[in-house]
Structure 1
Amino acid sequence: MSSILVVGLSHRSAPVTLLERAAVSGDRLDKLLHDVQQVTNVDGVVVVSTCNRIEVYADVEKFHAGVSSISELLSRHSDVPLEELSKHLYVHYEERAVQHIFSVACGLDSMVVGEGQILGQLRTALKVAQANDTVDRALNELVQQALRVGKRARNETGIDRAGASLVSVGLSRAGSLEGRRALVVGAGSMSGLAVATLARAGIGEIVIANRTYERGAHLARSAEVPARAIELSDLRQAMAEADIVVSCTGATGLVITPDMIDGPAFLLDLALPHDVDPAVRALPGVTLVALSDLRDADDAPAAGDIEAVRRIVCEEVQAFQLGLIAATVAPTVVALRSKAAEVVDAELGRLGGRLPGLDDKAREEIAQTVRRVVDKLLHAPTVRVKELAASPGGDTYTEALRELFDLDPKTPEAVIRAEDVL
């Protein structure tokens, strides 16, 4: 039977510079998914790659082989030597893996605790895995449940009250935005959040520069304040006119360099790899806030909210684990009841042959009585085996049930395969 494995690195385990090198997206992400999927004893894989984490969620049959293979593939696809990468990797397995994924969905593991973007990022990771046909039933159910847990945490607590996203926390360091001019570089989901956050803060005008002009124009039309799009080739002139610059592109190289800045400016770099050359910090009147600067943001939710979310995670992990246990017991219970039904049908058929004069009403009454007796006899052991399955060594009780009732080992396996098809 396979188990959930998490292998990854994040802002908690690695410096931003290493996260930038390890980040994968586009074709590289697709290739990583397929290569992990091809590893022996890996049944499914989902990869979460964001600005502050890259994590591989895999359904594996062997722990050590899974960790070794996934680590090597992460190194190969990120071009970070395995010896260097291994120092920053963390591994979670089985129940701890489920707890980690639920905590990530709730924002407990985010650079800014409680930020809500991670839910969208998890949803995107699942869709990408589905599109590449690398997600199996177990992983699909796990990530779907993680999304539900994340929503529950935000509905029942104030975990996202203080800092809804990296954007809001970063922009809070720019002071008042009222009536000022902003330049947003990029037109992806993070840029969309930046535009919405700037508008709510009372920004006077927004200019959006993007490699694809149409996408920039589409984002500008959705803004609730005056906004317009420009070609990326006009970025230098737009920089000179902006008070605030938010850059979050998917570029692999630098987008903004010191020679492009003329005068005081506030720059928020939310890209990974970073868009803005750190050398701009040396320019007079220039403030640069990058992802690494947000690592220890003070805009954190109250301790009470964090503790409440942790309790939710613990509850949900326990419920999920019990569900897994019930799922492993169910095929054996179904096989037992199926065998009992076959015995009842055979005996009723034999009785009919011996007593051909029975009328239909009497025959039906006898059949119902026999079935009720069998159901009552089976009820206690089947309920009890489900309860005992959750205890240490619980799988032995299921095996004992199969042995005591002489169940064909292939019958429960057939039930499992049928469930997978459904």
Structure 2
Amino acid sequence: MNRIGIVGLDWRHGGEEAISRFTLPSERRSERLPAMAHAMGAKELCYLATCNRVELCFVAEEPTPAATMRRRAFLALAGRQPQPGEAERTLRAWAGEGAVEHLFLVAAGLDSARLGETEIAGQVRAALEEARRLGLAGRRVSFLWEEALKVARRVRRQSGLGLGRTSLAELALERIDATRGPVALIGVSPMTRRCAESLAKCGRPLVWVNRTVERAARAARELGIDARPRPLAEFRTDPDALAVVVSATGASPPILDQADLIALARASRGRLPLLVDLALPPDIAPEAARALGFERVGMEEINAAAAGNQRQRRRDSADARALVDDALDRVHRRLGLRSVESVVTILHDHYRETALAGVEDLLRRELGDLDPERASAVRRWAEALARRFAHLSSRGLREVALQAGPEALSAFLSGAERDLARKLGAALDTERVLAALPPDEEDPP
């Protein structure tokens, strides 16, 4: 795992403005992400962007210092070289097992503004699917992100964090519940889907708006709810009379500007709808909304609500944290055991070949007068001795792999003679280890 890393920023360390600045527009990611991977020297790359974080998970082609990857990520995301020290101040970095631990915490909702929020798991899944679609997710990224999603499922099932309002969308629903009348949902995202599902159960009339109206119609069918689909271009010029507008697309620039809000105000007939903006960058122009007298609830307000009443959630998070630690230990053991199996096989063969070659040399030079039966007995004795030596070293190697991981095992074996070191290095290659890794039967999908 020594080439795995994560670089990024979140709501605690960057704030809404910084997150907006480093978020790639969704329509440009197919073009930008492969180029970013090449520029960063990453053979695998997964980009996670939510309303509260922007992070790049990568597998470096060569061992690279964290400071270098920070600067490369800053350039890739911001489109300019950082000033001296700017990348270090702006972006945080994790490497190796620290990066894996951070990924598991993020997927489980333990690094979120709302402890235990559940939308993040869907966003992690979507990021992995996008990386796969772009050919950027190889075996390492795929394995670790799938493991992170397993952790999220365990936390949801086995800890108190899965109870109550667990998502940022549900916190927004607390504001929406105080209103009456039709609701427009803009964008097809985990957050708008969660809002749509909850509002439909309450019998609220729904309008689902999207650039591609077929996607909105398909999302309503998948959820089994009644929502009238409308294309975004039509909605902007001819909006419905609404009580609430909920938007979560993350497009840039804002999809509802001053002219759109004026049209919305006219359609409302004197009663301005509540604007719930769950996107970063903002979907609804903040200054225009304020100037026209709209009440706009953005991510800063949602995060402030999430920060309240966290004491019980922190107690519940202790159980969830134990589940994350258990998952890290299980991954460590699975990779260690798989890597040592191939090494042990190679060492057994090496000991046997070395012992038999020595015996044959001895028989040829000094014991040539032995009859065939005695010569065969010497060979059997040499093979038995080789097995004993191999067994002793194998037990120690298994402990090294289990306690310190494949990297420590590789370092321990690096002093072997050239041909043996080459075979052992190939056996410890992460790609080969992951390809041969059996399914985790303890946690079926």
Query: TM-score by structure 2 length?
Result: 0.79
Partner of 1:307: 318
1:408 pairs, out of 420, 427, 437, with 420
Alpha-carbon distance change, 118 to 345 in structure 1, aligned in 2, over 3 angstroms: farther
Aligned AA for 2:122? G
Partner of 1:152: 154
Number of residue pairs matched? 412
Q: Does 1:161 align with 2:163?
A: yes
Deviation at 1:273, TM superposition (A): 1.7
The percent identity for this pair of structures is 25
Aligned AA for 1:197? S
2:345 pairs, out of 334, 341, 350, with 334
Aligned AA for 1:386? R
1:136 & 1:222 partners in 2: Cα distance? 30
Partner of 2:217: 217
Kept in 2, the 8 Å contact 1:183–1:244? The answer is yes
Deviation at 1:25, TM superposition (A): 4.3
SS of equivalent to 1:59: strand
Partner of 2:22: 22
- Counterpart mapping for 1:217-236 below 5 A: 217-222=217-222, 224=224, 226-235=226-235
Kept in 1, the 8 Å contact 2:197–2:225? The answer is no
Alpha-carbon distance change, 152 to 345 in structure 1, aligned in 2, over 3 angstroms: farther
Deviation at 1:222, TM superposition (A): 4.6
2:242 & 2:113 partners in 1: Cα distance? 27
Kept in 2, the 8 Å contact 1:9–1:54? The answer is yes
2:117 & 2:411 partners in 1: Cα distance? 45
Partner of 1:380: 392
Deviation at 1:339, TM superposition (A): 1.1
Aligned AA for 1:270? L
SS of equivalent to 1:9: strand
2:423 & 2:225 partners in 1: Cα distance? 64
For structure 2, the 5+ residue unaligned runs are: 437-445
Post-superposition CA distance 1:129-152 (Å, at most 9, x none):
223222333322221211111111
Partner of 1:104: 106
Q: Does 1:197 align with 2:198?
A: yes
For structure 1, the 5+ residue unaligned runs are: none
Alpha-carbon distance change, 389 to 242 in structure 1, aligned in 2, over 3 angstroms: same
Q: Does 1:72 align with 2:72?
A: yes
Alpha-carbon distance change, 393 to 247 in structure 1, aligned in 2, over 3 angstroms: closer
Deviation at 1:170, TM superposition (A): 0.7
Alpha-carbon distance change, 406 to 161 in structure 1, aligned in 2, over 3 angstroms: same
SS of equivalent to 2:295: strand
2:286 pairs, out of 249, 274, 278, with 278
Partner of 2:12: 12
Comparing 398-407 with 68-77, greater Cα deviation is found at: 398-407
Deviation at 1:107, TM superposition (A): 0.4
Partner of 1:135: 137
Aligned AA for 2:432? E
1:68 & 1:399 partners in 2: Cα distance? 24
Kept in 1, the 8 Å contact 2:339–2:406? The answer is no
Partner of 1:90: 92
1:419 pairs, out of 415, 432, 436, with 432
Partner of 2:277: 269
Alpha-carbon distance change, 231 to 163 in structure 1, aligned in 2, over 3 angstroms: same
2:407 & 2:240 partners in 1: Cα distance? 68
2:225 & 2:27 partners in 1: Cα distance? 36
2:227 & 2:418 partners in 1: Cα distance? 73
Partner of 2:440: none
